[in-house]
Amino acid sequence: MCAKSASQENSPASVTPMVHPRMPWRVANVQPLNGYRLHVRFIDGLEGEVDMAALVASPGAGVFAALAEPTKFAQAYVEYGAVTWPGEIDLAPDAMYQSIKQNGKWILR
């Protein structure tokens, strides 16, 4: 019997495959629009609009109140499949997807 080196056979790269999330609700692209709106495209090709005007202006906006500044709102980007802003502000991509799939838009209040 010949002893084999286990270091190559059991290396993490050969045991654990790369992860490529394929959930349809993951956001692929976001484009900030005037009036506190976003145009989003999901990885499955679904596209629609997110209207945040009422939310950012409401007294109960919480962390989203920071987005009332148009230059801050315009800094939206996609991180890990979610629409995100500096300061760890993000939107739930699954709820966004469901509303856009049903209505063509997601209105946040």
> Considering the entire predicted model, what is its pTM?
0.78
Output the CA torsion 17→95→104→73 (10° steps). -90
Q: Answer for the pair 36, 49: CB distance below 8 angstroms, yes or no.
A: no
What distance separates the 2 farthest-apart alpha carbons in the chain?
Answer: 75
- The C-alpha atoms of residue 93 and residue 42 are separated, in whole angstroms, by 9
- The C-alpha atoms of residue 56 and residue 54 are separated, in whole angstroms, by 6
Each residue of 73-96: pLDDT tens digit?
999 999 999 999 999 999 999 999
Domains delineated in the chain: 23-107 (3.30.2020.10)
pLDDT confidence of residue 15 = 62
pLDDT of 3 over the 60 cut: no
Q: Could you count the other beta carbons within 10 Å of the beta carbon of residue 43? A: 17
